[in-house]
Amino acid sequence: MINTGDPASGFAQRVDAAILARAQGGDMQAFATLYSTFGRPCFNLALRILGNRALAEDLVQEVFLKMFSSIRSYRGDAPFGSWLKRMTVNATIDQLRSQRHDAETDSDALLLLQPVADAAPAAVLDAWSLLQRLPARARAVLVLHEYEGYTHAELAELFGQSESYSKSILARALRRLHDLIAPTPGPAPCPTSN
């Protein structure tokens, strides 16, 4: 799994119990505080999976409105950020399911990807532009597994599929990305004779 950075800046951020209590009482200022804490990680997760800024913003709105209406049911069994992250992931998966281009999830669609012309195999790759070259569901599996630490068992549950399904999607996505960034063999050097 890839280290996605400082845990204190994402869903792992702690929330003051007083803020939570106020939010559970319907306090808009407390909701604003929760948004300022988790709005960005929620948006970035949605954006990475959906690959579209407008869709990601709509999804953040949907998730926060849902969170506001269901926050009274939050009992504190898990950290609040984990609870919200789970809500965000579920919403993105639902969004993917409702998208028309679900047909792209057919693993054959991976073969339609275009190669990255300016890939630099030795360097750290521009992960974002690579992810954009994957179909939505393959991108979701890759982001959740490689960046968010989801196991195949969890992915299988999220997608309502078997574990081998998510393993297959992930392996195909990785292999395809690997093919994209592999150096293409250049023309054989011509021997020179003096």
Partner 1 sequence: MSDLELNGEALPRLPLGRLPVIDPAPDLWPRIAAAQQLRMRRAQARRRVAFAGSAAAAVVLLVATGIWFGGEHGAPREAVDWQARAQALELQLRALSAGRTAGAAALLATTAQNELVLVDAALQAAYDDGGDRERTESLWKRRSELLGALLQARSKNVEISRI
Biggest alpha carbon distance in the chain? 87
> Among residues 30, 50, 71, 130, which is the contact residue for partner 1, using CB under 8 A?
130
Residues 80-109 that bind partner 1 (CB under 8 A): none
- Binding pattern for the stretch 58-77 against partner 1, x by CB under 8 A and - elsewhere: --xx--xx--xx--------
Phi (first) and psi of residue 78, to 5 degrees: -120, 160
Which lies closer to partner 1 via its Cβ, residue 19 or residue 56?
56
> Among residues 21, 103, 112, 171, which is the contact residue for partner 1, using CB under 8 A?
171
Is residue 12 a contact residue for partner 1 (CB under 8 A)?
no
Is residue 175 a contact residue for partner 1 (CB under 8 A)?
yes
Closest distance to partner 1 from the beta carbon of 187 (Å) = 25
Closest distance to partner 1 from the beta carbon of 190 (Å) = 31
Number of residues that bind partner 1 (CB under 8 A): 51
79-85: long-range contacts at Cβ-Cβ below 8 A with a sequence spacing of 24 or more? 79/12, 79/14, 80/15, 80/20, 81/10, 81/11, 81/12, 81/13, 81/14, 81/15, 81/38, 81/41, 82/11, 84/11, 84/38, 84/42, 85/11, 85/41, 85/42, 85/45, 85/148
Segment interacting with partner 1, rule: CB under 8 A, options 12-20, 81-89, 164-172, 185-193: 164-172
Residues 23-42 that bind partner 1 (CB under 8 A): 26, 28, 31-32, 35-36, 39-40
Q: Please return the burial class of 76, using the count of CB atoms within 10 Å of its CB with bins 0-12, 13-18 and 19+.
A: exposed
Contact 119, 180 (CB under 8 A): yes
What whole-number distance in Å separates Cα of residue 11 and Cα of residue 85? Answer: 7
Place of tokens 């196991």: 151
The one-letter amino acid code at 181 reads I
Length of the chain: 194
Closest distance to partner 1 from the beta carbon of 180 (Å) = 10
Footprint of partner 1 on this chain (CB under 8 A)? 2-5, 9, 26, 28, 31-32, 35-36, 39-40, 43-44, 47-48, 53, 56-57, 60-61, 64-65, 68-69, 121-128, 130-131, 145-147, 152, 164, 167-168, 170-172, 174-175, 177-178, 181
